[in-house]
């Protein structure tokens, strides 16, 4: 059985602990060991980025558009108590507490590549649960075809929402089969720790074969629907950002190539590496798009 990254890497653990203290993330019940989390065969064996990279280079426009704004400003977001409204075409609509959706004993470690549409990437050891199980708790009705997600809308706590860069709240969506795919998780932690606010605490979506903007942070609602939901980036620039947003080195952004990416932490001379179709998850997900023109459905 594979060990968790955090079991075998004292250096990462050290970096993690140091950054953990420095960023003042709330302590866990088991601070010495961190949260458990069963390792998963769905993880990459690539070296994860350091905790410091993962928590200091972020996109979270609710706290500003600069990469270091979230680390600087997201700390004050009140992440407990927190519940997620699950509604629409489900048998058991309602408000679900994060602890009930993601019990500690159910957490799995998933080391995933994250490829931002801007052309940079990281490897992040998430802790989370498959979204499929969460949707199962609510009971998806037969007519549902899509899942719509929303982030908290609270300009008092999220100062970035006082300016209209986005039509708040931040919205995302998946086709139901994408949402039910075993790679799709709701994360509540990383590096064996509770999720830092800048990474979307207390609960965020992670869909590793799609551009990072699909992985919506600080979720407050999940709605099952039969219509393709509107999504924030598509609403803003439909010619640049599509609903599918599958990582695809052959379909360039209108303003830049998507053929390569810069791995954060690779250093000044790290150069760029080739971007992989579906961010390297093609074996698992290509079947979802059989027969679709991926240049048209970008």
Ligand X SMILES: Nc1nc2c(c(=O)[nH]1)N[C@H]1C(S)=C(S)[C@@H](COP(=O)(O)O)O[C@H]1N2
209 binds ligand X (CB under 6 A): no
The least CB distance from residue 30 to ligand X, in Å, is 23
Residues in contact with Mo ion, shown as a per-residue x/- string from 57 to 96 under the rule CB under 5 A: --x-------------------------------------
78 with 157: CB under 8 angstroms? yes
CB of 293 to ligand X, least distance (A): 25
71-104 burial code (b ≥16 CB/10 A, e <16): bebbeebebeebbbebbbbbeeeeebebeebbee
61 binds ligand X, rule: CB under 6 A: yes
**Member of 20, 126, 213, 241 binding ligand X (CB under 6 A):** 213
**119 vs 208: CA distance, rounded Å:** 15
Q: Which stretch binds ligand X (CB under 6 A): 74-82, 84-92, 211-219, 274-282?
A: 211-219
Residue 54 interacts with Mo ion (CB under 5 A): yes or no: no
Q: Which is nearer to ligand X, 40 or 58 (CB)?
A: 58
Cis peptide before 12 (omega within 30 of 0): no
Does 248 show up as a binding residue in the annotation? Answer: no
Q: Does 217 bind ligand X (CB under 6 A)?
A: yes
Per-residue DSSP letters for 201-252? TT-EEE-TTB-GGGS--SEEEEEEESSPPP-HHHHH-TTT--SS-B--TTS-
Least separation in angstroms between CB 223 and ligand X: 16
- Say whether residue 184 binds ligand X (CB under 6 A): no
**Residue 211, C-beta contacts closer than 8 angstroms, at least 6 positions apart:** 115, 116, 117, 241, 245, 246, 247
Q: Is 218 part of any known ligand binding site?
A: no
Choice from 184, 199, 223, 246 touching ligand X (CB under 6 A) = 199
Query: For residues 207-226, which are near Mo ion according to CB under 5 A?
Result: 212-213
Residue 48 · residue 124 · CB < 8 Å: yes
Q: Find out whether 204 is annotated in a ligand binding site.
A: yes
Q: How many residues bind ligand X (CB under 6 A)?
A: 17
- Judged by the rule CB under 6 A, the positions of this chain that interact with ligand X are 58-62, 114, 116, 151, 170, 199-200, 212-213, 215-218
């Amino acid at each position: 059985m594979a060990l968790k990254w955090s079991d075998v890497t004292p250096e990462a653990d050290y970096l993690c602990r140091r950054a953990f203290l420095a960023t003042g993330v709330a302590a866990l019940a088991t601070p010495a060991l961190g949260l458990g989390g069963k390792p998963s065969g769905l993880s990459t064996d690539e070296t994860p980025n350091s905790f410091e990279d993962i928590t200091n280079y972020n996109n979270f426009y609710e706290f500003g558009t600069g990469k270091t704004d979230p680390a600087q400003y997201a700390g004050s977001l009140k992440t407990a108590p927190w519940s997620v409204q699950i509604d629409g075409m489900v048998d058991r609509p309602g408000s679900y507490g994060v602890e009930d959706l993601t019990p500690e004993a159910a957490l799995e470690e998933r080391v995933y590549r994250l490829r931002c549409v801007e052309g940079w990437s990281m490897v992040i050891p998430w802790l989370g649960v498959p979204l499929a199980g969460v949707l199962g708790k609510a009971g998806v009705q037969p007519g549902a075809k899509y899942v719509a997600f929303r982030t908290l809308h609270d300009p008092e706590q999220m100062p970035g929402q006082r300016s209209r860069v986005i039509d708040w709240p931040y919205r995302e969506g998946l086709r139901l089969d994408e949402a039910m795919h075993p790679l799709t998780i709701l994360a509540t932690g990383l590096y064996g720790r509770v999720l830092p606010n800048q990474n979307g605490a207390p609960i965020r979506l992670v869909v590793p074969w799609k551009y990072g903007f699909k992985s919506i942070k600080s979720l407050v609602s999940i709605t099952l629907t039969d219509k393709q939901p509107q999504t924030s980036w598509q609403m803003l620039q439909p010619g640049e950002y599509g609903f599918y947003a599958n990582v695809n080195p052959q379909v360039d952004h209108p303003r830049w190539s998507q053929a390569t990416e810069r791995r954060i932490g690779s250093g000044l001379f790290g150069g760029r590496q080739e971007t992989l179709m579906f961010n390297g998850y093609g074996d698992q997900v290509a079947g979802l798009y059989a027969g679709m023109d991926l240049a048209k459905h970008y």
